[in-house]
Amino acid sequence: MGYTEITALWQGFTGSPGYTRVKFDGLLDEGGAQAATARLRTFFSGMTSILPDDVQIGFTEAGRLYNDAGVLVGEVDQGTHATVVGQSVGSFSSPSGAVINWLTAAFQRGRRLRGRTFIVPLAGSAYDASGSLAGTTITSLSTAAETLIGGTPGVIIASRRADGFYLQAIVTGSSVPDRAAVLRSRRD
């Protein structure tokens, strides 16, 4: 079966670049990769009001094709797509934002297969007075997430199995916890 990985590149703020890699079901041809990238762009466009105006999210010109064993077997042209730019003016914290949890119906090693995407940084206005996410922020992120997973081909989570191959499961839902997420790295 395999999958196609599309990469979004976050730039323009302290701590950048950042990468969001989303896997789509199947080895997509050029038209499929362009459509998948357009869906990913729509996903990020749905949250521009909660992204700082310093944030720019671009897309690589080639999607990566992986076989069932998770081995890179090629690339596919996904075309050129306009950069998504945050719209919120004001202060923000570069390493903090939100997380979207991706849910599947698959189980592996006694646990439900899930994934996460960090949306970092968020604008200062994306938080409420207690420091957790504002209700409108949760709504924006939830709506964007459901739009992304609602199309074809499906968004997948892939996890290595004991036999060396990958369990690939279609994302069936999402959730956005009402708390701030912080990205840390070894460089901190």
pLDDT digits over 171-182, tens only? Answer: 999 999 999 998
Q: Which residues of 76-111 are buried (b: 16+ CB within 10 A; e: fewer)?
A: bebeebeebbbebeeebbbbbbbbbebbbebeeeee
Distance separating alpha carbons of residues 169 and 172, to the nearest angstrom = 9
Residue 107 has pLDDT above 60, yes or no: yes
Find, among 123, 145, 126, the residue nearest to 136 by Cα: 126
pLDDT, tens digit (0-9, with 9 covering 90-100), for 53-64: 999 999 998 999
Per-residue pLDDT, averaged over 131-156, amounts to 94
- Domain spans, the chain: 3-182
- Across the chain, mean pLDDT equals 91
Find, among 56, 183, 23, the residue nearest to 119 by Cα: 183
Residue 160 has pLDDT above 70, yes or no: yes
Per-residue pLDDT at 27: 95
Residue found by looking up tokens 């909660």 in the block:
50
Per-residue pLDDT at 174: 96
Which residues are registered as beta bridge partners of 119?
Answer: 98
Per-residue pLDDT at 185: 61
Are 174 and 149 in contact, with CB atoms under 8 Å apart? yes
pLDDT, tens digit (0-9, with 9 covering 90-100), for 35-50: 999 999 999 999 999 9
Element (DSSP H or E) covering residue 155: strand 155-160
- Note the pTM of the prediction, 2 decimals: 0.90
